[in-house]
Amino acid sequence: MRIGLVGYGTGGRHFHAPFIAAARGVELVGVVARAPETIARVRADLPSVPIYESQAAMIEAGGIDAVTITTPPQTRRDLVLEAINAGLHVIADKPFAPNAEAAGELDLAAKRKGVVLGVFHNRRFDADVLTLRKVLQSGQLGRLWRLHSRMDLDDLYTLEAGPSGGLLRDLGSHLVDQVLWLLGPAKSVTANWDIVARAEGETDASFVLTINHKSGVHSHLSASKLNRLAAREFRAYGEGGSYVSSGTDVQAQAIFAGKRPLDDLTAWGYETPEQWGTLRTVEGVERVPSEQGRYHDYYEAFVQAVMTNGSPPVTAQEAVAVLAVLDAARVSAIEGRTVDV
């Protein structure tokens, strides 16, 4: 599959290009970049890949089957539609639309055109999430009661300000997608958030969500970026015991340290034994070895979906469900009440 990358900021450079390179059956054949410093980065990192000033120019040049759209959130909807109308398969960064209703319109447009539309909820492929999923599927916790997910980043410069930004739509997109994937659809959500004043407008900088799932399980999600704190934790409680893990965001840390999955794909993405989670049951205390974090699996699964006319690793419908929770969470935080999803 010949793919074009639209955007080469942090997302395009660190969370797409290295994993496209590592995925089987994918070739990066073009990058859209306009700012001189961005063009310079593309030329340094990908000297043989053509650079285009716009997605339209890359489409006109031909020779691509799909695009990954990783531009700022407010630009994504129009670019997704442009690519769909050109008959291209699309991977869109999250959140891929301003709200659930607009996301549903994009899903319908892709279906009418007969192209595959996927959303890049790559953090389903994190080591800690995959390890947690294995524990839940093992049945060792018995009937699950609740799940806590916390993601604090000391990363104030990447907080997207203004009405299309905020942490709820940023990290909240990942955390909500993970628990819907693990625990099933949401029934209701209760949200609290913390607001900061920015030149672009008031922006939510941290949040706490409680989701009641239709399965009867409840999940509790929290995140921050401005509190000078970096922590990632899962806690799962069931009638048979508990599971606790404190991960290190191992793939992201490796990428920002200059490593690439192709350097050693076999060893890529594992937490060290010191970071393994702990399972406590009537059988005793057990350290659970890390599953492999594999963001490149997203691209390989997307290729398979295109080849077989199947479902992408994260469907547009699943991303619509995430946005429906986020839309309800926003209402809950503003109005101070629990909101049905």
Which residue(s) pair with 192 in the sheet?
A: 208
Q: Which pLDDT score is estimated for 72? A: 86
Q: What is the pLDDT of residues 197-253, one digit of tens each?
A: 988 889 999 999 999 999 999 999 999 999 999 999 999 999 999 999 998 899 999
Q: What is the pLDDT of residues 108-162, one digit of tens each?
A: 999 999 999 999 999 999 999 999 999 999 999 999 999 999 999 998 888 888 7
One fold for 2-120+299-310 and 123-293: no
What three-state secondary structure class fits 200? coil
Q: What is the pLDDT of residues 292-315, one digit of tens each?
A: 999 999 999 999 999 998 999 999
Question: Residues 57-85: what's their mean pLDDT?
Answer: 95
pLDDT averaged over the chain? 96
Q: Among the residues of the chain, which ranges form H helices?
A: 10, 17-22, 36-45, 55-61, 73-85, 100-113, 127-138, 167-183, 250-256, 296-308, 316-335
Which pairing describes strands 2-6 and 27-32: parallel, antiparallel, or unpaired? parallel
Q: In what order do the strands lie in the sheet containing 89-93? A: 51-52, 27-32, 2-6, 66-69, 89-93, 117-120
Max Cα–Cα distance, the chain, nearest Å: 63
| Look-up of token digits 């489409």 | 59
The number of helices, as runs of H, and strands, as runs of E, in the chain is 11, 15
Assign domain 123-293 to a CATH class.
alpha beta
**pTM for this structure?**
0.95
Domain spans in the chain, listed from the N-terminal domain onward: 2-120+299-310, 123-293
Q: For the domain bounded by 2-120+299-310, which CATH number is listed?
A: 3.40.50.720
